[in-house]
Amino acid sequence: MTYKALYRKYRPTRFEDVVGQDYIIKTLRQTIKQNKVGHAYLFCGTRGTGKTSVAKLFAKTINCLNPNEAPCNVCDNCVASDNNVNQDIVELDAASNNSVDDIRDIIEQLKYVPFQSKYKVYIIDEVHMLSGSAFNALLKSLEEPPQHVVFILATTEPNKVLPTIISRCQRFDFLRVDKQSIIKRLKYVANKEGIDISTQALIMISELAEGGMRDALSILDQCVAYTGETSKIYEETIKEIYGLTSIQDKINLVDLIHKKQAKDVLDKLKEFLTRGIDFKRLTNDFINIFKESILYSYTNNEEVLEYLDKKQANQVLEKYSDSNLLDMIDILMKASESYFNAVNIYNYFEVACLKLMNIKGKERIEKTKPEVKEDIQDLKEESIEHEEIYDDEDTEVIEYKEDEIIEETQEFKQSIEDYYEEVYEEELEGPIEKVEQKKEITNESLELFLDEEKEEVIDNSIEYYDNETLLRLVVQCDRDTRSKDEEKFKDLIKYRYDLNLARYVNLLSKTQIAASGEDCILLVNAHEAIVNEINDKTVNIELYKFIKENLDIDKMVFGLTEDQYKEILNLFTQKVATGTLPNPYKVNRYKIKKEKEIKPIDRVIDLFGLENVEIIEEE
């Protein structure tokens, strides 16, 4: 007897054998059980998901002579169906029989009753290939067929099927089979056939199948032919046959790209070319690696990882931030789009890797203690003599603690809805000691601190805060404080109908909290006019009073534009990477004098004059 391919040999003969289409099988079973078989069905889905197999199984079941056990696989109808000799089950390949004459032949046969079965079933595979005339010829018969006729249409492209055809059918969308279901079925087939295959090889086959059970069995069949029936199938076997690389090989290539070792990267790619690696698949693999790394970074949940494991995801995240990875995905997706018209895909992938090297990833900062001590000594010799420096009003007030050791610095991470979203995560290793530093403020710089003996000065001019100043404010900020202030900002809605406060509510509602620290809060808006209004001295004081009295936020308010915010994020990353992150500002708050309470009688006197008012004491 001639050899039968595995996907044909193990085609489902019972509903229990169908993999990954549970809701469809349940629906069809209930249809048969309740004796509510429809006149037309449309099975949609990608290749190898079981459309034709389920169509044949359904046709066999509704014609089984033992309805209580259908399909019994022992009655004459079931045996005939399994051997493809049942005359009442007609299968038509619309890819090669797509003319109107082919459909007219079917229509001509509809009037004849079934030969030996209850139903005459017509299975039209790849129905989207029918011509327009053939579709039109089928319409009337599909709408009102004889009671003994059932149509089952199968297609991989339902978008090409006429809407008038779809509306006359019960539609079932077949899903891609999940990897675990494919692996389970492959293990069953391997045990039946006596095939020795490793778990890792099964996983690799499930990935190559891309959700198609038929593809998975065909791959297994090819591996058996390559190794022989007595040899075990390993992961290396799959790589040799299909020109694949391991995930770790791809991670190693990412490492070379991160280190900008161009020669090593190009040598590795030439090695892949020699091994016959499919660069289209390799591009998709890299996209999956970066995508899953981002998902893991966002969720910190291993359940989102299908392609990578936790260790591999962390290897990628140590080298690149989330925004870096998104940029890298964009580069690879553009390269993938170019492959359709490319004569040499290798060249496009090579250029894509060179572009990836242009993305600046994370850099780990390592400083030994002696080096830090030398830096401290150099700074001391310049200008530092005391732990705290308080000069005149033209000098910053900055606190320094020489012996303070920072073991880990967590980078500022923030998202701005509708405007800008970026995540930076950096870790500083090695002791870093903060030292005293003296710096003069010019008239062009921001005066952050008010002299304690001075009265509050209201300046109507608009202040502009440079990036270096804002950066030193950001250094003191953290996510927990920002989250708390965001919760408090939700109370703004309570004051929107207060005529005295509506202006401030409206102004603050147009902003997002970019960062928040112990004594300052940074607000972002895309429009410079709104930012300038926030920074206007008069308005700024009123905003400070408003959030202090109504939101319980005793902090100075600083406004910045969206572009400024992006620049500060980049500046922060650069400073962290070079170990030159500045000391944070300590911001003195406004001193708000309480207004003297005016008694009602004083208001009356002020309104009418003392000579016109007579005060009568109550007895």
CATH architecture of the domain covering 247-357: Up-down Bundle (1.20)
pLDDT tens column, 114-173: 888 889 999 999 999 888 888 888 888 888 888 899 999 999 998 888 888 898 899 999
Residue 445 has pLDDT above 70, yes or no: no
pLDDT tens column, 286-334: 898 898 888 888 888 887 887 788 888 888 888 888 888 888 999 999 8
pLDDT tens column, 322-346: 888 888 999 999 888 888 877 888 8
Q: What is the mean pLDDT of the chain?
A: 77
Cis peptide before 71 (omega within 30 of 0): yes
Q: Go through the chain and tell me how many residues it has.
A: 619
pLDDT at residue 465 in the model: 67
The CATH code of domain 179-242 reads: 1.10.8.60
Instruction: Identify the weakest region by mean pLDDT among 260-274, 430-444, 560-574.
Output: 430-444
Contacts of 487 by beta carbon, 8 Å cutoff, 6+ apart: none
Residue 515 has pLDDT above 50, yes or no: yes
Tokens of 373: 């001590």
Query: How far is residue 362's CA from residue 351's CA, in Å, rounded to a whole number?
Result: 22
* CA angle (234 as vertex; 230, 236 as ends), nearest 5: 125
The pTM of the full predicted model, rounded to 2 decimals, is 0.53
Q: Does the fold of domain 179-242 match that of domain 21-173?
A: no
- Supply the DSSP string of 41-100, one letter for each residue: EEEE-STTSSHHHHHHHHHHHHT-S-GGGSS-S-SHHHHHHHTT--TTEEEEETTT--SH
CATH superfamily, domain at 21-173: P-loop containing nucleotide triphosphate hydrolases (3.40.50.300)
Share of the chain above pLDDT 90, in %: 8
Share of the chain above pLDDT 70, in %: 80
pLDDT tens column, 25-64: 999 999 988 888 889 999 998 888 889 999 999 999 998 8
Domain boundaries, the chain: 21-173, 179-242, 247-357, 371-578
Query: How far is residue 12's CA from residue 187's CA, in Å, rounded to a whole number?
Result: 16
pLDDT at residue 44 in the model: 92
Residue 83 CB-half CA count within 13 A:
10
In DSSP terms, 41 is beta-bridged to: 152, 170
Residue 391 has pLDDT above 50, yes or no: no
